[in-house]
Amino acid sequence: MRNIPSSKISEAVEKLVIDCNHFLPYDVVSAIKETAGFEKNKKAKNALYKITENYKTAKKGVYPLCQDTGIAVVFAEIGSEVRVEGNIYDAINRGIENGYKKGFLRKSTAHPLTRANTGTNTPAIIHLELVSGPNIRISVMSKGAGAENKSTLRMLTPGDGIDGIRNLVLDTVRNAGASACPPYIIGVGIGGNFETAPYLAKKALLRDLGSSNNNKDAAKLEKELLIEINSLNIGALGMGGTATALAVFVETMPCHIASLPVAVNIQCHSSRHKSASI
């Protein structure tokens, strides 16, 4: 059994918070640059180049990628051979608080009724998963409200089928329009129940651009949805063209025979997430 002090977890989370708000993942940067090269709409192409300039400025480590530094979402895979010395929830939240403070990042977490700001950007949204091995892998996502507010959950019926799923995804993107800062990365969670579909959709956003679902039917749906979304002519920052989305990631799990839960989680072009292993 490997002992890991809670302080080590806090230190790792603190660094991840600061890094994910200043350094866009390489796969996202590459996809934006590649998309700009293919985009024929001049206004949209210029918007994509401006996004690249923003990335170059942010990676100097002074200014964050976006003024909305988000609510902190944390996915932690806990190895079965690990013993955490202390409370892991407290450790993660301590890291979130310290990261937002030391990084001079905007605190965006408030009480839902009084709207009083917690002042620390905590509590974070924390998802723990038990896995095999002697390590802890932590992924921190800074999720802005612009994209999150345009996301949706719908309890479809089995009769709605694939067409119902497709229509929900397209309607969600169409309704988001330019307001959630495209080009988007779209996470689609299908199955489970009312609480697991949104979890699947959110976790899907951690996938590397260019990856496909291992299931051939889900992979086929990903490709079809990406083509259809990029035919909506919303485009980069709403300028039109074919760059409405960089990727569509579908994740599934079995569900009740009488239900078909579907969640669509939109991520803006500033797809801020970082991972580390302890």
**Residues 67, 9, 84, 200, CA torsion sign:** positive
Tell me the pLDDT of the chain (278 aa) as tens digits. Answer: 899 999 999 999 999 999 999 999 999 999 999 999 999 999 999 999 999 999 999 999 889 999 999 999 999 999 999 999 999 999 999 999 999 999 999 999 999 999 999 999 999 999 999 999 999 999 999 999 999 999 999 999 999 999 999 999 999 999 999 999 999 999 999 999 999 999 999 999 999 999 999 999 999 999 999 999 999 999 999 999 999 999 999 999 999 999 999 999 999 999 999 999 99
CATH code, 2-21+64-143: 3.30.2320
Is the Cβ–Cβ distance between 166 and 224 less than 8 Å? Answer: yes
Domain regions of the chain by residue span: 2-21+64-143, 146-275
